[in-house]
Structure 1
Amino acid sequence: MEYHRISNISDPFFKKMHELMQMVFPPEEVLEYSLWKEPLEDPGIRVFVAIHEGKVVGTTEYRYYDDFQVAMTDFTIIGQAGLGIGRFLARKRWDDLQALAAASGKPMLGMFAEIYDPYRVHDHAFGGVKPMDPYVRREVLSHLGYKRLDFGYVHPSWENNGEAVEVLDLCFLPTDEEREGVPAQLVVDFLTRYYAVLANKPAQWHAMVEALKQREIVALLPI
């Protein structure tokens, strides 16, 4: 299996990756095709696909903020079961992030990820791919070490229509397994930068950020 980086919208594997995203994710979670041009060319955004026998069978997008010392996994997609795609992507991503942290001269504190709450997602089959089932994914991510940040999370729709998406939790994978919380200001700074690209943020998102500004620490809870 090959771990291939996509850095241009003209890459022939990008169309296959975008089709896989559309099959698995709901529309509000998928950026429109043409809008990918700039993100793919951004050196800070790392988009990789897993290629097996010439076919895109998985993909992951992530980024590393060396000033915050944290990473963010934008998404991970496993296209089919039985190939070990999840482990392959997780291992390759972690190795890449560790190299980025080493190059920055500062250790990585951990990695954020938005994780579907299976108890609030009832009407989406995630393309019928069983490894993408929210119950399965949540348990796998728990095994990897992710923990839920203790606040009610909403995020702006990637359709940039001002709608709030409320069926996910913001989680964090600490490099120190004994860590019990994350500074609230770090969460605010991260979310503000991460969603700067979306102009139409819902009122619920702004209220959430303002509430976080009143806190010092956001606890990490089991998922």
Structure 2
Amino acid sequence: MNFYRITSIEDEHFPKLHRLLQEVFPPEEVLAYELWREPLQDPTIHVCVALQGDEAVGATEYRYYPELRVAMTDFTIIGKPGLGIGRFLLRSREKELTRLAAQSGTEPIGMFAEIYDPYRTEHSFGGVNPMNPIVRREVLSHIGYKRLELDYVHPSWDLEGGAVSGLDLGFLPKDEELSQISGALAATFLEVYYSAIEKKPQQWYDMVETLKQRDVVALLPL
């Protein structure tokens, strides 16, 4: 299996990635095909597919913010069961994030991720069993992810300004004993991460302002 980075929508493997996104995620979570042009050219955004032969069987997107000392995993897609894709993507991403942190001379605090709550969403994730919200949440819990203690919403990636709920903002602390992070860190991260979306819902702004007023935010079990 090959871990392959895509940096252009002209790349022959990009249509395969976008098809995976559309098959697995709900429409409000998927950026339109042409709108991927600029993000893919951004050197700080890493969009990689797991290739088995010429077939894209999985994918992940991630980034590292050295000024905040945190990473973000935007998505992880497992396209087929029984191939070890999840483990392959996890280890490949870890190696790259370690390299990026070393390159910037920083020590990471941890990594954010948006995690579906299976008790609040009925989305089938394309019928791919490894992508089932219950399975994904339990696997992420085993890895060490925790959830921030807040009512989380994020701006819709269809760019219509809607609020997407049914998720938690997760955090994988580098120090597994860490039980809280600063509200300012969480707020700053969200402002930077969602700066690409111009039209955001009022619920999102209210949530970020609330975070700014909190000294710390507890990290709770998933």
Residue 189 (1) aligns with residue 191 (2): no
* Cα separation, 2, equivalents of 1:105 and 1:207: 34
* Cα separation, 2, equivalents of 1:197 and 1:104: 23
Render the CA deviation track for 1:67-122: whole Å, top value 9, x for unaligned. 00000000000001000000000000011001110111111110000000000112
| 3-state SS of 2:196 partner | coil
Paired AA for residue 108 in structure 1:
P
Residue in 1 that maps onto 2:10: 10
* Cα separation, 2, equivalents of 1:181 and 1:95: 25
Alpha-carbon RMSD across the aligned residues, in angstroms, is: 0.5
- Between the aligned residues of both structures, percent identity stands at 61
Please report how far the alpha carbon of residue 53 of structure 1 lies from its aligned counterpart in structure 2 after TM superposition. 2.2
* Cα separation, 2, equivalents of 1:180 and 1:125: 32
* Cα separation, 2, equivalents of 1:154 and 1:92: 29
* Cα separation, 1, equivalents of 2:71 and 2:210: 23
Paired AA for residue 23 in structure 2:
M
Alignment of 1:16-165 (within 5 A): 16-122=16-122, 124-165=123-164
Please report how far the alpha carbon of residue 169 of structure 1 lies from its aligned counterpart in structure 2 after TM superposition. 0.3
* Cα separation, 2, equivalents of 1:105 and 1:156: 32
* Cα separation, 2, equivalents of 1:67 and 1:206: 22
TM-score norm. by structure 2 comes to 0.99
Runs of 4+ with deviation above 4 angstroms? none
| 3-state SS of 2:13 partner | helix
Gaps of 5+ in 1: none
Aligned residues: 222
Paired AA for residue 103 in structure 1:
Q
Paired AA for residue 53 in structure 1:
G
| 3-state SS of 1:179 partner | coil
